[in-house]
Amino acid sequence: MPIIKVSAKSRSTAVAGAIAGVIRESKRAEVQAIGAGAVNQAVKAIAIARGYLALDGYDIICIPSFTEVDINGQERTAIKFIVEPR
């Protein structure tokens, strides 16, 4: 399953489309964000994706957790959202 990485500059509608596409194809998506702005965009994208997927009969849930990510040799804490149908 590919990880959908979100930054503070990501367009929430574009991320929502990616989430919806992965859910339709794999039934599960992993969204990762580092920093307050990125987490904000990720949460908005998940809410938008919920609307997109409702049209196809999916009711999705989101499970947040922390994960450690290595960026340029430096450990960073990220928020990971597992998005899957209910």
Degrees, nearest 5: CA angle 43-22-39: 20
Strands 60-71 and 3-6: unpaired
Q: 35-86, pLDDT tens digit by residue?
A: 999 999 999 999 999 999 998 899 999 999 999 999 899 999 999 999 999 8
- Look up the domain containing 55 and give its range: 3-85
Q: Which CATH number does the domain housing residue 69 bear?
A: 3.30.110.20
CA separation for the pair 57, 61 (Å, rounded)? 13
pLDDT at residue number 13:
96
pTM of the model: 0.92
Domain count, the chain: 1
